[in-house]
Amino acid sequence: MKKTLILSYTPRDNSNTKKMLDFFIENNQDKTEITFVDLAEEAPDLLLKENLNLYVNRNFGGVELTNEQQKVLSKNDKMMQQLLDTDFVVLASPMYNFSVPATVKAWFDAVIQAGKTFTYTETGIKGLCENTKALVLMTSGSDFGIEPYKSVNFATPFLLTSFNFLGISTEVINKFGMVQYADKSEQMIEDAKEEIKEVSNKWY
């Protein structure tokens, strides 16, 4: 059975993003082995002074770490291994202040590891997760699909660039304007469910 890694940042009560994710799980839980990571409960370690230097020394300098030093990196290494072990990734997150929530960014900082999920070649950088596919489920209160906000939607380009860097082909289901078009929000969720079905049918 194919494996699916679900990354959820949906802590808000009555989250519209969570409604989309819940439908994905309900529609596919019998078709795939799911690993669920709640990024609001289990945040990756930020790259601060100690762990950043240990990571750089290990992954770029070839330094062999002690057991104690390795433990400092163990949480992020676990998340990186979860990515390497999966066939599909579903990332569910709202847009916050034009971009992704901090813990979502921290997840990418945790899993983008030289020598593990990407490498350097004579022709440039190569992602090492080419057999993995991803789906992004995202909502926002305002409509970031049209100007004046379309040009300041930094969330979608960041996610696509980051997954692509890892070699992961990605599809995105954005439902923008949940507050701005409150009278249409329920229909937008229903539309998202149909789009989720289409992706699911291709995957499983």
The confidence score (pLDDT) of residue 26 equals 97
The confidence score (pLDDT) of residue 17 equals 97
The confidence score (pLDDT) of residue 13 equals 93
Q: Give me the CATH code for the 3-203 domain, please.
A: 3.40.50.360
The confidence score (pLDDT) of residue 42 equals 93
CB 57 within 8 A of CB 70: no
25: Cβ contacts below 8 Å, ≥ 6 apart: 6, 34
The confidence score (pLDDT) of residue 41 equals 96
CB 45 within 8 A of CB 127: no
Token pair listed for 192: 């998202």
At residue 63, φ and ψ (nearest 5 deg) are -80, 130
The confidence score (pLDDT) of residue 163 equals 98
Identify the segments of the chain with pLDDT beneath 50.
none
Element (H, E) at 199: helix 185-203
Residue 160: Cβ within 10 Å count: 17
The confidence score (pLDDT) of residue 203 equals 97
Domain regions of the chain by residue span: 3-203
Among 105, 204, 196, 194, which residue's Cα sits nearest to residue 158? 105
| Whole-angstrom distance, CA of residue 147 vs CA of residue 143 | 8
Rg (CA), the chain: 18
The confidence score (pLDDT) of residue 94 equals 96
